[in-house]
Amino acid sequence: MTPLWIVIGIVVLLGLGLALSYNRFVSQRNLIRNAFANIDTELKRRYDLIPNLVETVKGYAAHEREVFEEVARTRSAAAGTSGQSPATQAAAEGPFVAALGRLFAVAENYPELKANQNFLALQAELSNTEDRIQSSRRFYNANVQGYNRRIQAFPSVFVARMFGFKEEEFFEIPQAERAVVGESPRVDFGSRGPVVGGGSPPPAAPQPGEAGTPPAP
């Protein structure tokens, strides 16, 4: 009887291990889906802010038609990927954020626009939304990393293959776009204007007495 009970014990332990591993995969997958739903919600919030922002800028810079058309086109393309894979949505975000950077660069040329209360409110809301997107993106990618690691690791790899668990996609901007918009899909709305792509701020104006500037009387 003893060998039989040993076999039964081993089978029970294997079954419990299999069930625990399977349930953990399910929990991780659901967490990833919920995390990406949060990203999608914040992206939609940002898309909804853009038309009002563009209309406000148009009131001061109506001749910047090319910039407005680019923002509208890239916004439409990015919004059209909602519900698709994270990689597809991330690829559409790069050009859109780059276009937003150019829109705020235009705004820098109009001091009256930068003092407009509606513009300032939209700018602040867009900046807050961007912070939430980045926070949600980091949380999502961290969970995807842990999930994908388990799919590749022993012995959970066998459970993943048995029940069809597949690796999930990260939400990252392609390298080509990252060179334009910086290390992450973010526009800096600091007081000195947008710094797109992590560039250096503009040089300070020369002081009296410096090279190329006549000394003060």
Going by pLDDT thresholds of 50, 70 and 90, the confidence category of residue 12 is confident
178 lies in some domain: yes
159 lies in some domain: yes
164 lies in some domain: yes
**Tens-digit pLDDT profile for residues 42-74:** 999 999 999 999 999 999 998 999 999 999 999
The distance in angstroms from the start CA to the end CA of the chain is 108
Q: Averaged over 103-129, what is the pLDDT?
A: 91
212 lies in some domain: no
Going by pLDDT thresholds of 50, 70 and 90, the confidence category of residue 132 is very high
**Tens-digit pLDDT profile for residues 163-196:** 999 999 999 865 544 433 333 334 444 333 333 3
Domain of 162: which CATH number?
1.20.1440.20
205 lies in some domain: no
31 lies in some domain: yes
What is the number of domains present in the chain? 1
- Mean pLDDT is highest, among 4-8, 59-63, 73-77, for 73-77
Percent of the chain with pLDDT over 70: 79
Q: Which residue has the higher pLDDT, 34 or 14?
A: 34
196 lies in some domain: no
Place of tokens 């894979």: 85
- What pLDDT score does 13 carry? 84
- What pLDDT score does 137 carry? 92
Tokens standing for residue 105: 């660069």
| Residue range of the domain that includes 18 | 6-191
62 lies in some domain: yes
